[in-house]
Amino acid sequence: MNQADNAWVLVSSALVLLMTPGLAMFYGGLTRSKNVLSTMMHSFFLMGLASIIWMFYGFSLAFAPDVLGGWLGGSKYFFLNNIGADLFPDLVDPSKTMTIPGTTFMIFQCMFAIITPALITGAFAERMKFSAFVLFMILWLTFVYSPVAHWVWGPGGWLAGMGALDFAGGTVVHINAGVAALACAIVIGKRKGYRQTPMIPHNLTLTLLGAGLLWFGWFGFNAGSALSASEGASMAFVVTHMATAAAAISWAVAEWILRGKPTTLGVASGAVAGLVAITPASGFVGPVSSVILGAVAGVLCYLAVLAKNSLGYDDALDVVGVHGVGGIWGAIATGLFASKAINAAGSDGLFFGNPGQLWIQIVAILATIVYSLVVTLIILYVVKAIVGLKVTEEDEVVGCDTSEHGETAYNI
């Protein structure tokens, strides 16, 4: 074991955990005041639920030796059997040589299994039954997150075997969550009064603080994904920061040009879009590439969010526009900007003389989209049949804080 590596990945694990309450604040501020607690509850409850699932079997389905031709991990690590002080076996990605114990790797990955489903919750905020949420998340972590994590990162995973580059989770985390969010928004349906009554964010200061915590925690997410306290971690840290800086500016400038005013919600959303987009690329691209990648992400995600208004589905907090579109752009951009000069164990992208990498990236994107969409839809209909998805119209008007949890956020 390398003690410096172990220390860095443990610290990174704590950083990634902090992203989830950060996300709760980011989302909570965007809802109306009658739904802020129910929205934050989704993220916080997952810090419990996803962790327990991960320990008992989720980690094993994702990271145990393959049992289904590259599609699913086996039962070797159920209940964390065989996970302890021994070094975790090397992953497929040759840039990540394991020098840390299995326990450290497991807990680092556990934090990813918390934040990914938490991202989806923005799509069905302000209207989903809490019981339906719990059942949906158990099924989604089991049948969508764990398998897709296995494909991309797990030993024998088929996308990893093809050479798809995904440093910190562009496909597994962001495209996966973004597509699942789209399925949720469509199947659960619109909020009462959507597009007829104003649904104005009730506290953007909370949203800005949440975005700041996400930015902070994301250093653990991306630089921690080097799995070592190495030069690679340093570069991942730098490009994560620079892409985010560029995206925060580009989103705000885009809306300044198109709608007349730069907004605080614009810089916060732009920052998150930049963080999303740089995620798969963070171990493979240089600083100048990262700024281009981030600047494009800010504008692209802003346009995607604008497009939602004419497409008609109610993705309440824009998970599809930010995580889906930002994640797809990031995965494509990895195939454009990746450079062996930055990471010798990675690949070159299109702009560095290797057009084949772009094709592999597109296969990974399409596979994730199709699988996540289909299986999420099936899960939604199963949950709908068992407990129903949406609160009653009366409960929706009163607000989910009162109807689902018997609490109100602000009492004067």
Partner 1 sequence: MKKVEVIIKPFKLDDVKEALHSIGIQGMTVTEVKGFGRQKGHKEIYRGAEYLVDFLPKIKIEMVIQSSVVDQVIEKVIAAARTGTIGDGKIFVFPVDTVVRIRTGERDADAI
Helix (H, G, I), strand (E, B) or coil at 101: strand
Q: How far is the CB of 309 from partner 1 (least distance, A)?
A: 6
- Under the binding rule (CB under 8 A), the answer on residue 302 touching partner 1 is yes
DSSP assignment of 311-379 equals H----TT-HIIIIIHHHHHHHHHHHHH--TTT-TTS---GGGT-THHHHHHHHHHHHHHHHHHHHHHHH
Q: How far is the CB of 201 from partner 1 (least distance, A)?
A: 6
Q: How far is the CB of 281 from partner 1 (least distance, A)?
A: 25
- Phi/psi for 139 (5° steps) reads -70, -40
For partner 1, give the closer residue by CB, 217 or 266. 266
For partner 1, give the closer residue by CB, 101 or 321. 321
Residues 172 and 118: their CA atoms lie apart, in Å, by 13
Find the binder of partner 1 among 11, 47, 138, 265 (CB under 8 A): 265
Which of these segments, 70-78, 158-166, 262-270, 378-386, binds partner 1 (CB under 8 A)? 262-270
- Under the binding rule (CB under 8 A), the answer on residue 299 touching partner 1 is no
- Under the binding rule (CB under 8 A), the answer on residue 305 touching partner 1 is yes
Find the binder of partner 1 among 266, 274, 283, 346 (CB under 8 A): 266
Residues 124 and 131: their CA atoms lie apart, in Å, by 13
**By CB under 8 A, what part of segment 326-355 binds partner 1?**
none
Q: In Å, how far are 94, 132, 276, 328, 360 from 178, measured between CA atoms?
A: 28, 19, 11, 9, 20
Q: How far is the CB of 305 from partner 1 (least distance, A)?
A: 5
- Under the binding rule (CB under 8 A), the answer on residue 131 touching partner 1 is no
For partner 1, give the closer residue by CB, 263 or 402. 263
Mark 24-63 with x for binding to partner 1 (rule: CB under 8 A) and - for no binding.
----------------------------------------
- Under the binding rule (CB under 8 A), the answer on residue 318 touching partner 1 is yes
Among residues 371, 364, 296, 304, the alpha carbon closest in space to that of 335 is found at: 364
- Under the binding rule (CB under 8 A), the answer on residue 259 touching partner 1 is yes
Query: Residues touching partner 1: how many (CB under 8 A)?
Result: 17
What is the Cα 390 distance to its own chain's centre? Answer: 24
- Under the binding rule (CB under 8 A), the answer on residue 306 touching partner 1 is yes
Mark 174-213 with x for binding to partner 1 (rule: CB under 8 A) and - for no binding.
------------------------xxxx------------
- Under the binding rule (CB under 8 A), the answer on residue 163 touching partner 1 is no
Q: How far is the CB of 90 from partner 1 (least distance, A)?
A: 42
Question: Residue 365 is encoded by which pair of tokens?
Answer: 């994107």
Contact 354, 347 (CB under 8 A): yes
Q: How far is the CB of 320 from partner 1 (least distance, A)?
A: 12
Residues 122 and 180: their CA atoms lie apart, in Å, by 11
Q: How far is the CB of 268 from partner 1 (least distance, A)?
A: 10
Residues 58 and 55: their CA atoms lie apart, in Å, by 7
Among residues 343, 221, 142, the alpha carbon closest in space to that of 334 is found at: 343
Question: Nearest-5° angle of CA 295, CA 280, CA 228?
Answer: 120
Q: How far is the CB of 197 from partner 1 (least distance, A)?
A: 9
For partner 1, give the closer residue by CB, 33 or 131. 33
Residues 70 and 147: their CA atoms lie apart, in Å, by 9
Cα dihedral across residues 121, 124, 126, 131: positive or negative: negative
- Under the binding rule (CB under 8 A), the answer on residue 292 touching partner 1 is no
Binding site for partner 1 (CB under 8 A): 198-201, 255, 258-259, 261, 263, 265-266, 269, 302, 305-306, 309, 318
